[in-house]
Structure 1
Amino acid sequence: MRHRFIVPSAAAAVLLLAIPASAAGPTPGAPGIGDPYYPEAGNGGYSVSHYDLRLKYQPKTDRLEGTATLLATTTQDLSRFNLDFLLDVSEVLVNGKKAAVGRSGTHELEITPQTPLEKGKSISVVVRYSGTPSQVKVNGFTGWTRTPDGAVAAQEPEGAAWWFPSNDHPRDKATYDISVSVPDDVQAISNGVLASKTSRFGWTRYNWRSTKPQASYLTTLAIGKFDITEDRTAGGLPVISAYSKDLGDNYAPAKASIERTAEIVDWESSVFGPYPFTALGGYVPNVNSHYALETQTRPFYSPAQFANGANTSVVVHELAHQWFGDYVSVNNWRDIWLNEGFATYAQWLWSEKEGEGTAQQLADYVYSQPADSPFWKVKPGDPGADRQFDGAVYNRGAAAIQALRTTVGDQAFFTILKQWPEQHRYGNASIEDFVAFAEKVSGKKLGALFDTWLFTTAKPAVGPGGAQAAGSRAHGLAAPVVKEPKSWKKIQSALAGHHGH
């Protein structure tokens, strides 16, 4: 409809100026949550508290049908809001009433309710949809991987948009109920506890429940033919792991590694504090990728992680993420060191425990890289979106943690490791938050230390053990020979190709 532009009288203009800004009326929610690395990631104007996903998937055709119900609270007066989603949408209801639907950007679903939404109110959003996820690509990429007998959704930093509509950023966590109906000859694996399973008319429905806040990228789905193992920890938590039946020579080493999940979690709990979730396990589908991902409670592992035999190091890494990445998630993706530096350092502590090289030896080995190596050009504290998963974020990032340990001493250091996850439990944090917390616990000023190790594109003059660099070109000395710790290759194998894209 075309509206006439009416010039107000002088008296009316005065009245308009007297109206407070808050009465300006509802406005559209932002198409991004405000992450500098990924401007379209997440959305503004609301916060989701719960997702209920009711899905049906046919592996033969890769056809996915779903109804997603989102419970949310508005954070502004909304005329319209976005969801991140890529499949075909047949209907959207907001508070039970049909809403208008549009598209924008690469994956933005624009929803306009029949009446504007008031700030601070609870809302329900129902989205009915369908599609063939593997055929949907953004910049040549799909977050949905088909397998010989099913499919897998496990990607970072984004992947949810290929199978459910969401506010797709770690800053907006929620709880999940994921119900998946699949043919009887395959199974459906997801996060949390398997609440129930029912079969009828050739289809089996698996109902998975995650009752602790969970980021959208940590939400996973795997459909295929699996051997499933079930157990319980000493504390009674269910341990469910799944192994594709066609892993070949990788089957036995994968199982030998992942079946140690409960043991590793018990050890990590002694270092990082109590395990924060209600279930644990892992799964290995038949995929061609090489990475692993810390999908909450049930990490995803590529078969290639076990191509050289058992690999407990990668299990240590992904389970450490349950504290560093899942329990406490990044505030923005620029804070990725809080995830990867600490998960890598957990591998170093495991190596120390197993007698295969101390954390200091591993840090010294990292530090032995030449000063002119490209390795030192990446800033772990702000690597950029294109270098977010660079090896320096992991290895230089872990060396930074060893430098912290050396500086503050073991007592303060392990207090920091234990209390930090609890400080931001089920929430989000930035690198600046961590630096402030470490200073508070240790009583030391640590800004210069972290600036050097995380934000400088040069090899630090002082190593992670506190010693002055030896073998500098300025002094014309030969670089010292640092022996490779026994665990080094295992750790690097675990990090190879880590994470999706």
Structure 2
Amino acid sequence: MHRRIIAPGALVAASLLLAIPASAASYAPGAPGIGDPYYPSYGNGGYDVSHYDLRLRYQPKTDELQGTATILARTTEDLSSFDLDFLLDVSEVRVNGAKASFTTSDQHELVITPKTPLAKGTPVTVVVRYSGVPSKKSAYGFNTWHRTPDGAVAADEPEAAWWWFPSNDHPSDKATYDVSVAVPDGTQAISNGTLQSTGSKLGWTTYNWRQNKPQATYLATLAVGKFDITTSTSDGGVPVVNAYSKDLGDNDGAARASVERTGEIVDWLSGYFGPYPFSSAGGYVPNTTTGYALETQTRVYYSPKQFANGSNTSVVVHELAHQWYGDDVSLKGWKDIWINEGFARYAQWLWSEHEGEGTTQELADYVYASHPSGDAFWTVKPGDPGPDGQFDLAVYDRGALAIQALRDEIGDDAFFALLKGWPKDHAYGNASVADFQRYAEQVSGKPLAALFDTWLFQPSKPAAAAARAASLTKAGTAVVQPKSWKKIEATNDVHGH
């Protein structure tokens, strides 16, 4: 019998082959984008995040941010590597306790390769340690980190997270949050949800915030500065936390007069949209130079410019309406922005009627009459406006016209049942315009494809409202500007880079 001799190198190779799972060939890098046609590189493929735990330390004088992000997720594919969206400087990454290698790619991709591949369905804990000066980081030529005289603000759409925490940055991957922020004594840190505790040590105060309901990454916010913080409870039992920069100047009184009505407005909106979906409500007004407001979940961001002409409850209504339409029920893809902005605008119309400053029909008539057939306003399709038209005025105003047309078609009983039923039946999830159309048909019992196509997807002025316009003209009734219009129009400063 001849004994077969195996070379030592071959033994090593054989043992390595045995150590690799039989299905190793199926492991592949996760996609560097979640598949949104508007923003192909935003978000990432291969996993779903359930929780972000952020431990931050921020020095306002130098704009230096240090952080440790612990991300809980579960893989949805067999992964050899995966991406996070992030811009700051990373010093270490661990995946399930083991050090992982990492590189940066493209404008905002952090590519992580774990020590061992991750099988589909594996619970994953990712720890990222990082630091940097957010105001010095740009992607695609812009920066959405807003410095203020006494701190900074992270609040923008569709992207803001890249400048302060690594994430799967797309609204279809929602998660809960714990945000702990250490800032110099005498400075406050504001974030989403409820304030769990504060503590001071060696000249630094730590604020611990918790968001216990799913939240899209662009709705996460951070504000550091010197604030006057007020707390209250609405008549309906919703805790309210508001914060005002101590340096708002002439805008201070109007800002407080508006934002301090948050509890009242939340209760009023609950009458249309159902119970408030989160543990707290509120807003903050830092000393920023931007012009817009943003529906950051439970803690709305308001630019002081929104109050430059006096009290502006209309913008408060708009952003709080988003807590149901946009935050509680979030869009599946960015093309579904109409569900967010159309309904927030329509809430302003309802508020106008409540305040005796113009009915929803009067506002609809005015908007329709204000834009002749050849106006570019009608070329924007609210149901799929494209990335360049996503925040066009038509998404808001033509979007609200579509909602009024829907109300006229299905009647008030079905319409108001729809307004309440949608957040209830899709709570804390994601949905598309197509999903909303199907739901509206289910609630009303009517086919609505033609109506949705006419008002949301055709690049022309709908003829459906022409009969009403003609009847008004025939009756000698002039279409006049409702009293509320300028207040509504004042909220039109939108998010642009």
TM-score in terms of structure 1 length:
0.92
Secondary structure (helix, strand or coil) at the match of 1:309 reads coil
CA distance in structure 2 between the partners assigned to 1:26 and 1:410 by the alignment: 53
Partner of 1:197: 198
CA distance in structure 2 between the partners assigned to 1:461 and 1:108 by the alignment: 46
Does the 8 A contact of 2:236 with 2:267 survive in 1? Answer: no
Partner of 2:423: 421
- Are 1:498 and 2:491 matched, yes or no? no
Secondary structure (helix, strand or coil) at the match of 2:179 reads strand
- Are 1:486 and 2:483 matched, yes or no? yes
Secondary structure (helix, strand or coil) at the match of 2:470 reads coil
Partner of 1:470: 470
> Could you list the per-position Cα deviations for residues 324-383 of structure 1 after superposition, in whole angstroms to 9, with x for gaps in the alignment?
000000000000000000000000001011110000000111110211111111111111
Partner of 1:441: 443
**Pick from 406, 412, 415: which aligns with 2:414?**
412
How far residue 22 of structure 1 moved from its aligned partner, in angstroms, is 6.8
The one-letter amino acid of 1:336's match is: I
Does the 8 A contact of 2:72 with 2:124 survive in 1? Answer: yes
How far residue 500 of structure 1 moved from its aligned partner, in angstroms, is 4.6
Partner of 1:77: 78
Matches within 5 A, 1:190-229: 190-229=191-230
How far residue 23 of structure 1 moved from its aligned partner, in angstroms, is 6.7
- Are 1:96 and 2:102 matched, yes or no? no
CA distance in structure 2 between the partners assigned to 1:332 and 1:114 by the alignment: 33
**Pick from 436, 450, 453: which aligns with 1:451?**
453
Closer, same or farther in 2 for the Cα pair 1:409/1:235, shift >3 Å?
Answer: closer
Does the 8 A contact of 1:461 with 1:469 survive in 2? Answer: no
Partner of 1:382: 384
**Pick from 426, 430, 433: which aligns with 1:431?**
433
Partner of 2:16: none
Secondary structure (helix, strand or coil) at the match of 1:35 reads coil
Secondary structure (helix, strand or coil) at the match of 1:318 reads helix
How far residue 498 of structure 1 moved from its aligned partner, in angstroms, is 2.4
Secondary structure (helix, strand or coil) at the match of 1:80 reads strand
Secondary structure (helix, strand or coil) at the match of 1:342 reads helix
Secondary structure (helix, strand or coil) at the match of 1:470 reads helix
The one-letter amino acid of 1:289's match is: T
Does the 8 A contact of 1:291 with 1:500 survive in 2? Answer: no
Closer, same or farther in 2 for the Cα pair 1:22/1:433, shift >3 Å?
Answer: farther
CA distance in structure 1 between the partners assigned to 2:400 and 2:25 by the alignment: 50
CA distance in structure 2 between the partners assigned to 1:352 and 1:468 by the alignment: 20
CA distance in structure 2 between the partners assigned to 1:237 and 1:275 by the alignment: 8
Does the 8 A contact of 1:363 with 1:399 survive in 2? Answer: yes
The one-letter amino acid of 2:141's match is: G
CA distance in structure 2 between the partners assigned to 1:468 and 1:214 by the alignment: 41
The one-letter amino acid of 1:150's match is: G
Partner of 1:329: 330
CA distance in structure 1 between the partners assigned to 2:234 and 2:261 by the alignment: 11
CA distance in structure 2 between the partners assigned to 1:328 and 1:257 by the alignment: 25
> Could you list the per-position Cα deviations for residues 167-193 of structure 1 after superposition, in whole angstroms to 9, with x for gaps in the alignment?
000000000000000001210000000
How far residue 106 of structure 1 moved from its aligned partner, in angstroms, is 1.1
Partner of 2:14: none
CA distance in structure 2 between the partners assigned to 1:272 and 1:61 by the alignment: 44
Partner of 2:231: 230
Matches within 5 A, 1:263-342: 263-342=264-343
Does the 8 A contact of 2:235 with 2:267 survive in 1? Answer: no
Partner of 1:40: 41
Partner of 1:57: 58
Does the 8 A contact of 1:292 with 1:318 survive in 2? Answer: yes
CA distance in structure 1 between the partners assigned to 2:308 and 2:177 by the alignment: 33
CA distance in structure 2 between the partners assigned to 1:499 and 1:428 by the alignment: 22
The one-letter amino acid of 2:486's match is: K
Secondary structure (helix, strand or coil) at the match of 2:467 reads coil
How far residue 200 of structure 1 moved from its aligned partner, in angstroms, is 1.1
Partner of 2:171: 170
Does the 8 A contact of 1:73 with 1:123 survive in 2? Answer: yes
More displaced 10-residue stretch of structure 1: 136-145 or 118-127: 136-145
Secondary structure (helix, strand or coil) at the match of 2:196 reads strand
Partner of 1:27: 28
How far residue 233 of structure 1 moved from its aligned partner, in angstroms, is 2.6
Partner of 1:112: 113
CA distance in structure 2 between the partners assigned to 1:180 and 1:236 by the alignment: 28
CA distance in structure 2 between the partners assigned to 1:445 and 1:461 by the alignment: 19
Matches within 5 A, 1:94-173: 94-173=95-174
Does the 8 A contact of 1:461 with 1:468 survive in 2? Answer: no
Closer, same or farther in 2 for the Cα pair 1:102/1:480, shift >3 Å?
Answer: farther
CA distance in structure 2 between the partners assigned to 1:167 and 1:424 by the alignment: 22
The one-letter amino acid of 1:155's match is: D
TM-score in terms of structure 2 length:
0.93
Partner of 1:5: none
Does the 8 A contact of 1:261 with 1:315 survive in 2? Answer: yes
CA distance in structure 2 between the partners assigned to 1:382 and 1:366 by the alignment: 20
Does the 8 A contact of 1:52 with 1:69 survive in 2? Answer: yes
The one-letter amino acid of 2:378's match is: W
CA distance in structure 2 between the partners assigned to 1:404 and 1:299 by the alignment: 29
Secondary structure (helix, strand or coil) at the match of 1:467 reads helix
CA distance in structure 2 between the partners assigned to 1:439 and 1:181 by the alignment: 50
> Could you list the per-position Cα deviations for residues 27-78 of structure 1 after superposition, in whole angstroms to 9, with x for gaps in the alignment?
1111111100000110000000000000000000000000000000000111
CA distance in structure 1 between the partners assigned to 2:182 and 2:404 by the alignment: 47
The one-letter amino acid of 2:391's match is: F
Partner of 2:15: none
CA distance in structure 2 between the partners assigned to 1:433 and 1:23 by the alignment: 38
CA distance in structure 2 between the partners assigned to 1:135 and 1:58 by the alignment: 15
> Could you list the per-position Cα deviations for residues 184-226 of structure 1 after superposition, in whole angstroms to 9, with x for gaps in the alignment?
1210000000000001111100000000000000000000011
Does the 8 A contact of 1:462 with 1:469 survive in 2? Answer: no
> Could you list the per-position Cα deviations for residues 400-446 of structure 1 after superposition, in whole angstroms to 9, with x for gaps in the alignment?
00000000000000000000111211010000000010011101111
Secondary structure (helix, strand or coil) at the match of 2:121 reads coil
The one-letter amino acid of 1:182's match is: V
